[in-house]
Structure 1
């Protein structure tokens, strides 16, 4: 169990976080590493910081390029990968010291092409752990291709994120990330997973996923709608290769469209003449029969769909009413995530 692991870290405007990220990689208990730092034209001191690590540790390689976005930086880094395994780490996140060792061990033990770590949502003064999905006392979850694709579409146990997973490099070497989009992982993950025969999910969190203070409402822009483009592209893939998952795909599309309609409503100034909201409404209306069939086993989602089709504001009022009823304890509060204070 001493195969080389390549760690690809795209870097852009993370001067205050970069040291923590890189040091968490270099301090791993698994030492046969190749750390590929890709400075994606960052205008701050990230390039200089990255070079300092290359000087002090010969496992670090630094590449500088013009800014092209996260996908372009990852694709650039993949050109220089020589390890049998590859991990992507976002440059504001960090790893628990034994993460890579544990993931390599599990990959070898189960002959898995991909191993996924559970993770923490990391804030300045606390962590959140999704104990609704992951049980730290439980054994690893082993999925064949059929179950893997089901869980990927649901984005529940298996996450669409590229980070937090150990991949056999040969699996992903020739599948580039789509450039020029947000939520690039949604465009990419299903293409990778199609070839996976054994996928293992660990219930232990080894990855710290930083949550910035910026509110999604405050920073929202029409570019966030790229996720809908990615899900529609994936839906066409599902219809072609995994037709039995079509209903699950429609449900994910419905939930995500409803979320983004409401976000656009709260950011009306960024949706000139309501054109993006109209596009969402027309998509749901145009696929109403198929979407309604898909939502039959989810009473709440089906109710939201009917209200939305009658008038989108009815669904908004319904959600507000639910929130009020929970506040006055007429409805139970949804189960929250486990909080761990520092």
Structure 2
């Protein structure tokens, strides 16, 4: 385990305020046998100069500069250069604890798994962390991803590079939203078990300038497309997976209608908004049966009655978070 080379791929785009902290946290890993592949995806800010300077400080840091082609193409460029036994991904505006790599290596090595995933991470929300480690079937991991029990993204996970190479797994360059979920679901079709940990070692930064923080109708529609592609490649499927997938797709109705309300774009897409609200009300029993907490169920009921009220609440909470994190 201690000798394994780990390739850490970081897509870099408009993260000049965060990328140095991100890369330095990777350089300071207790597991030293790493290569850090920074992929500048045509970033228009000062990120390219920053990562070039950092690369000059440490021979383990490699920089790729390319024209802007999106996050999937950036990660694919990193995969093409990776030479480690394992591959990990970190977002350029996040940072990790010093045992990030060693923790994930321990997860997969002690269980003989080709994939390791973490249920928890540090974020602006409620923090959860513990020392629990266990193995689940791939079908369970798929269900948990669709149910948001495991975060859908590729960061906070580790993959055997041989698994990716042998099965020709990469990111779909036509998918820029939901690309991580698609990648994970692809990988899970080729393994029997997954190592799961619950210790938080990854810090997700609230970056108000991130594309993930801004509503974009095309991105949400791309996310739905990603879900449909995922279903088409299933080799492993259970009734629980089908129900979780269906609910995840249903939740896009709220994501889109809320985004249109909060961005004051309902007048631009009135038919889309009406269809989403109609779908929500038609399937309201779905969240009432699937959500686990009373708070979540009440939230759906209020949204069912008054989407605009919940949108105003979301705007207020976001402003508070921005003030807390120094965003305004």
Q: TM-score by structure 2 length? A: 0.80
Distance 1:282 1:241 in 2: 32
Q: Unaligned regions of 5+ residues in structure 1, if any?
A: 123-127, 308-312, 325-340
Change (3 A) 1:295 1:222: closer
Shift of 1:263: 2.4
Distance 1:318 1:281 in 2: 8
1:141-165 per-residue CA deviation (whole Å, 9 max, x = no partner) reads: 3211221122122121x22111111
Distance 2:146 2:237 in 1: 11
Which structure is larger by alpha-carbon Rg, 1 or 2? 1
Indicate which of 112, 121, 127 corresponds to 1:119. Answer: 121
Q: TM-score by structure 1 length? A: 0.77
Aligned 8 A contact 1:119 1:129 in 2: no
Could you tell me which residue of structure 2 aligns to residue 210 of structure 1? 205
Supply the RMSD in Å over aligned alpha carbons. Answer: 3.3
Aligned 8 A contact 1:121 1:208 in 2: yes
Change (3 A) 1:24 1:298: closer
Could you tell me which residue of structure 2 aligns to residue 28 of structure 1? 29
Change (3 A) 1:89 1:304: closer
1:14-41 per-residue CA deviation (whole Å, 9 max, x = no partner) reads: 1121111111111100000111111111
Could you tell me which residue of structure 2 aligns to residue 192 of structure 1? 187
Distance 1:13 1:217 in 2: 12
Distance 1:149 1:218 in 2: 25
Relative to its length, the structure with more strand (as a share) is 1
Shift of 1:242: 0.9
Shift of 1:302: 9.3
Distance 1:35 1:58 in 2: 9
SS in 1 for 2:204: strand
1:13-68 per-residue CA deviation (whole Å, 9 max, x = no partner) reads: 11121111111111100000111111111122222222223222111111111011
Distance 2:309 2:193 in 1: 42
Indicate which of 146, 163, 175 corresponds to 1:171. Answer: 163
Could you tell me which residue of structure 2 aligns to residue 148 of structure 1? 141
Distance 2:228 2:57 in 1: 46
SS in 2 for 1:116: strand
Is 2:211 aligned against 1:220?
no
1:217-243 per-residue CA deviation (whole Å, 9 max, x = no partner) reads: 9932212312222223334445x7414
